[in-house]
Amino acid sequence: MPIQYYIILSLALFCIGIVGVLVRRNVIIVFMCVELMLNAVNLLLVAFSKMHHGIAVVNDKATTVGTDAQLFVFFIMVVAAAEVSVGLAIIVMMYRNTHSVDVNFLNRLKN
């Protein structure tokens, strides 16, 4: 597949995530849209790694170009898992204190 198709697919997923962050008011949906944006970037990184590997493998059959990008995606997933656990704990704490998950209500950090 040409790399443009993957770029445009990832851009579309990323912009859907941005629209979700801007439009929705439920803080959990906003958080899920952030996850969607992370996954769009991961897909693009994997596609680029396969593109570079495909270019390099013509000259050298045993090349490992592109392995770093896939490990980078792996570390992004690791950090995203840690981020989700802390973020959901914060959301649960705010819901317990204010009984609301509305971002327009939660935008004041004090009180």
User: Residue 90 Cβ, how far from another protein at the closest point, in Å?
Assistant: 6
The set of residues, in sequence order, having a beta carbon less than 8 Å from that of 74 and lying 6+ positions away, is none
Number of residues counted as binding another protein (CB under 8 A): 74
CA distance 84 to 62: 38
How does DSSP classify residue 26? B
Site string for another protein, 32-71 (x = CB under 8 A): xx-xx--x--xx--xxxxxx-xxx-x------xxxxx-xx
Of residues 85, 108, 109, 111, which one binds another protein by CB under 8 A? 85
Of residues 59, 60, 96, 107, which one binds another protein by CB under 8 A? 96
CA distance 100 to 111: 14
